[in-house]
């Protein structure tokens, strides 16, 4: 097939034949633990449909450690976890700093911050970003399609390998101009004999700046080219593609259509880990339990009832086939408390062979070595609470200690926060804002949507490439990785107060050290609020003091005009006494 550029999409039926499709599918299989599907059983090694026994490395491991998924989940939790999801600030812009006169007052800034917060709730972006990042971290890229249904925005994800995006000028860093999304799926239909049967069908949807185009489903037949017919057209007339192509960038500076997979460079190491775990498991099954032996047993001596080995059982498999193998035809001797092995020969000896366990210790050391090297290479920290507590004393696992323990992971997540803000969350929020402008905020179940549409609608700038929408500057305020406990906060407050009272640090330094522990990201703003509270408290104190002084003066005036003792008035009808002489 002739080479294509990204602004010239191939026929959808050929998307799955591109080398890119195969590479991304392999990454997805490792995420789902399906990379060994179709291989012979690990214990028997017998290939399906034949009696050929394949070498160990060609078998399906009986233990498949889901490390790729675990590592992806860990990074996602530390980036967009519920308590770590950022709050979005909208900066006010003074006239001197404005571009093309686009100023934002303080009141407008506060209003837009509230509107952005409502957008996040309306579109369910918190769980949506976690789903999006799982795909992007594992595969390297994903497509987020935005739709408006019943007054609420929804985000639909498409697998990157099933999508052929077209960009303006063929540049993956430019805006999308069209999307072709196609894949095959199984569908149960009525067969020729009237019985249900499963067939493969094509699904296809195209999206451009004007509408969504859904095509009629076509059966996937060998060597038969599908005939595509548009079944449904949903016009949106937004003037832009309501979707974002999201790539997981890294410090390697990925610039291709697909980004950087968190674990894509370590697939061989995952294989080594899974085979090491399976070998250890097989060894424990075979040699981990004491092995009985017997000598001097005559051919006709019957030591116990005959049986067969178990075929295994797996509750997750509808056919009840254990992933740990088993051969139903292998002869065996029944065992159990009611199965007594008895011998008639006089020279019979029965013993028990037990292993020292050294081989299992070596295997465990090998497994731990591969695991630690994998985590170190990816920069991911996976530890259990018991493992962390084992390295510290009870009651001393502070936020600072956890930051040190998770330092490699936090360094990775710092990069991811920057990458996924500029390359995913911010573009999606801007798309939602633009959509709000296009519909004038009408029909959108968000308070103040129409007011926000008018305010955001003025952010258009004329450039050499035409009119563009220049969105307000948004800043993410990320949550803390670990929250300090009450004891830790109390100790920090005591230490800061002691340093301030001892004139070792200024009061503002003490405040800056303590305020983040109470969830204040903008320390300077918090200090200003503290000063304002102090001024208000001083004013109230002055007002109370003035009121008390006025009350005392009023009482004194009522007792005597000049503040002295009041002369007693004569009783009604009594004659006043004459003044005393001498």
- What is the domain partition of the chain in residue ranges? 12-34+66-262+409-459, 486-539
Q: Are 257 and 141 in contact (CB under 8 A)?
A: yes
Name the residue with higher pLDDT: 512 or 438: 438
Q: Quick one: the chain helix, strand, coil %, rounded to 5?
A: 40, 20, 40
Asked if residue 543 has pLDDT above 90, the reply is no
Q: Is 204 left (phi over 0), alpha (psi -120 to 50) or beta?
A: beta
CB 142 within 8 A of CB 159: yes
Kindly state the average pLDDT of the residues 234-247: 95
Contact 457, 465 (CB under 8 A): no
Mean pLDDT for the chain?
84
| pLDDT-based confidence at residue 329 (cuts at 50, 70, 90) | low
pLDDT digit string (tens) for 369-408? Answer: 999 999 999 999 998 655 655 555 544 556 777 888 899 9
Task: Give the model's confidence band at 9: pLDDT under 50 very low, under 70 low, under 90 confident, else very high.
Answer: low
Mean pLDDT of 226-239: 94
What average pLDDT does range 317-338 have in this prediction?
Answer: 62
Question: Strand, helix or coil at 306?
Answer: strand
Q: What is the pLDDT of residue 518?
A: 79
The radius of gyration of the chain's CA atoms, rounded to the nearest angstrom, is 38
User: pLDDT tens-digit profile of 257-310?
Assistant: 899 999 999 999 999 999 999 999 988 887 777 878 888 888 777 777 777 766
Structure tokens at 47: 């290939």
Q: What is the pLDDT of residues 98-109, one digit of tens each?
A: 787 788 898 999
**pTM of the model as a whole:** 0.77
183: closest CA among 24, 372, 351, 414? Answer: 24
What separation in angstroms does the CA of 133 have from each of 65, 74, 261, 377, 470?
21, 11, 11, 20, 26
As a whole number of angstroms, the distance between CA 29 and CA 112 comes to 42
Per-residue confidence (pLDDT) for residue 521, from 0 to 100: 60
Does the structure show a pLDDT above 90 at 466?
no
Name the 3-class secondary structure at 350.
strand
For residue 137, the number of C-alpha atoms closer than 13 Å in the C-beta half-sphere is: 28
The answer to whether 259 and 270 are in contact (CB under 8 A) is no
Contacts of 453 (CB under 8 A, 6+ apart): 436, 437, 439, 440, 441
Q: Return the higher-pLDDT residue of 443 and 327.
A: 443
Residue 367 has pLDDT above 60, yes or no: yes
Residue 507, pLDDT score: 85
Compare 455 and 582 and report the one with higher pLDDT.
455
Q: What does the CA dihedral 30, 375, 247, 163 come to, rounded to 10 degrees?
A: 0
User: Residue 97: is its pLDDT beyond 50?
Assistant: yes
Mean pLDDT of the region 205-231: 93
d(CA 187, CA 199): 5
| Residue among 334, 318, 382 at smallest CA distance from 67 | 382
Q: Which residues contact 548 (CB under 8 A, 6 or more apart)?
A: none
Q: DSSP states of 173-232 as a string?
A: TS-EEEEEEEEEEEEEEE-TTSSEEEEEEEEEEEEESSEEEEEPPEE--TT------EEE
Rounded to whole angstroms, the Cα distance separating 310 from 179 reads 52
Predicted confidence (pLDDT) at residue 189 exceeds the cutoff of 50: yes
Model pLDDT, residue 437: 96
């Amino acid at each position: 097939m002739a080479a294509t550029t990204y602004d010239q999409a191939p026929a959808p039926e050929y998307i799955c034949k591109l080398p890119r499709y195969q590479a991304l599918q392999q990454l997805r299989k490792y995420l789902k633990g399906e990379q060994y599907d179709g291989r012979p059983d690990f214990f028997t090694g017998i290939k399906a449909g034949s009696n050929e026994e394949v070498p160990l490395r060609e078998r399906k491991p009986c233990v498949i450690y889901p490390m790729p998924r675990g590592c992806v989940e860990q990074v996602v939790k530390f980036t967009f976890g519920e308590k770590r999801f950022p709050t979005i600030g909208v900066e006010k812009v003074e006239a001197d700093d404005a571009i093309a006169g686009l100023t934002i007052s303080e009141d407008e800034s506060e209003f837009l911050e509230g509107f952005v917060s409502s957008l996040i709730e309306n579109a369910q972006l918190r769980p949506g970003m976690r789903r999006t990042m799982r795909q992007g971290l594992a595969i390297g890229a994903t497509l987020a399609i935005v739709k408006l249904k019943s007054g609420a925005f929804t985000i639909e994800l498409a697998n990157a390998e099933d999508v052929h995006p077209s960009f303006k000028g063929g540049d993956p860093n430019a805006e999308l101009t069209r999307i072709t999304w196609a894949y095959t799926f199984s569908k149960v239909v009525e067969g020729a004999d009237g019985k249900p049967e499963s067939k493969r069908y094509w699904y296809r949807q195209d999206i451009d700046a004007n509408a969504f185009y859904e095509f009629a489903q076509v059966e996937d037949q060998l060597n038969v080219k599908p005939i595509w017919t548009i079944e449904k057209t949903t016009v949106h007339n937004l003037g832009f593609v309501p979707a974002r192509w999201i790539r997981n960038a890294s410090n390697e500076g990925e610039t291709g259509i697909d980004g950087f997979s968190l674990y894509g460079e370590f697939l061989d190491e995952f294989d080594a880990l899974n085979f090491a775990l399976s070998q250890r498991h097989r060894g424990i099954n075979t040699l981990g339990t004491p092995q009985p032996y017997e000598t001097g047993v005559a051919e006709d001596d019957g030591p116990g009832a005959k049986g067969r080995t178990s075929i295994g059982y797996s509750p997750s498999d509808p056919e009840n086939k254990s992933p740990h193998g088993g051969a139903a035809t292998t002869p065996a001797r029944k065992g159990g408390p009611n199965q007594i092995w008895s011998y008639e020969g006089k020279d019979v000896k029965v013993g028990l062979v037990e292993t020292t366990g050294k081989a299992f210790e070596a295997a465990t050391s090998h497994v731990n070595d591969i695991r630690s090297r994998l985590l170190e290479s990816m920069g991911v920290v996976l530890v259990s609470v018991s493992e962390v507590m084992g390295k510290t004393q009870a009651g001393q696992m502070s936020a600072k200690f956890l930051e040190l323990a998770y330092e490699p992971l936090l360094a990775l997540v710092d990069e991811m926060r920057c990458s996924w803000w500029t390359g995913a969350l911010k573009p999606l929020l801007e798309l939602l804002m633009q959509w709000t402008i296009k519909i004038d905020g009408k029909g959108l179940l968000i308070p103040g949507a129409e007011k926000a549409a008018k305010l955001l609608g003025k952010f258009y700038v004329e450039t050499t490439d035409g009119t563009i929408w220049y969105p307000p500057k948004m800043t993410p305020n990320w949550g803390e990785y670990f929250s300090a406990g009450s004891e830790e906060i109390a100790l920090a407050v005591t230490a800061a107060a002691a340093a301030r009272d001892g004139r070792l640090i200024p009061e503002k330094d003490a405040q800056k050290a303590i305020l983040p522990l109470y969830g204040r990201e903008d320390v300077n703003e918090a200090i200003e609020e503290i000063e304002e509270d102090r001024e208000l408290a001083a004013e109230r104190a002055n007002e109370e003091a003035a009121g008390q002084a006025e009350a005392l003066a009023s009482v004194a005036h009522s007792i005597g005009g000049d503040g002295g003792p009041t002369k007693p008035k004569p009783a009604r009808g009594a004659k006043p006494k004459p003044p005393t002489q001498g």
